[in-house]
Amino acid sequence: MKKWLSNRSIFFKLLVTGGVTILFIIVLSTIIMTYYFYKNFTANKIHTIADRIERQVFLARIAENKFVQNDLNNTVFYDTGTSKYLEENKTHIANVQVEILNLIELWSGTKERQAKELLELSDKYSFLFSEIVKIYFKIGFKDWGLFGEWRQAIHNVEIAVSQKNHTELHETILQLRRLEKDYLLRGDVNYLDEIKTQLILLRRQIAGISDTETSEILKEINRYEESFGQYLILQKKIGRTEKEGLQKDFAEVIDKMKPAIDHIYTEAKEANQKRAIL
């Protein structure tokens, strides 16, 4: 009887020990599986976020280009201060920034810094594009903005002069308008000196006319010159090409954004592939 109880006690101990061991293995396996499941889930999520960032930036650039190509010649933009493609661009960039913040929450160390740098670049992109849009709005189109201001001023001069029998005056105005159009088309600063020369000549010729309308004509010429001068200041600020002014700064930000996005996307893709193999 004592031997049986002793054997039973050993059996019980073995059973308990075995049960504890099995439970430990199950718990450990569950922890390991949960860990790898979490890592796989996180890797998939990061890859998805990186993919969305790349797509949203791509769509923002499309909207940006369509705004320049279409909306700058559309009166809706100058009437309302906004447009379809401008709003699309803002939406896509806002989406990019939300996704980057999601990425920052999942990453740490060097990768987190990379994501934060991309967030800063997206902020710069948004700011610079907004500044460029403001300048485009001030410059105007047809009867809007500075374009409209100097068009109306010189048009009033042309109407007043057309009623007078002064051939030389007509020729001076025609030459002034040709030089203005040549400058807008080619951007050669030499035309600006010639435009100044024609304005001096035009004022002198009008001053030589003795009638009551002379002072009003001179006021319109001054309005034309002032509007055109303001246009030149804004044009210099924005830049005629991507190598000048705000357009240069904007192009540099875009050039930095692309490799940053590519790097983040590549790292996310590689991490996701490694987890898939494991």
- The domain at 42-139+242-277 falls in which architecture? Up-down Bundle (1.20)
CB atoms within 10 A of CB 214: 14
pLDDT at 263: 81
pLDDT at 5: 45
Reported pTM? 0.79
The answer to whether the CB of 195 falls within 8 A of the CB of 183 is yes
pLDDT at 215: 86
pLDDT at 3: 53
The domain limits of the chain are: 42-139+242-277, 145-238
pLDDT at 12: 58
Which residue type, as a one-letter code, is found at position 41?
F
- Average pLDDT per block of 10 residues along the chain, 278 residues long: 54 59 59 54 77 92 95 91 95 95 83 89 96 95 90 90 80 92 90 94 85 83 94 93 92 91 76 56
CB atoms within 10 A of CB 83: 21
DSSP codes joined into one string, 113-137: HHHHHHHHHHHHHHHHHHHHHHHHH
Residue 183 makes CB contacts below 8 A (sequence gap 6+) with 191, 192, 195
pLDDT at 105: 85
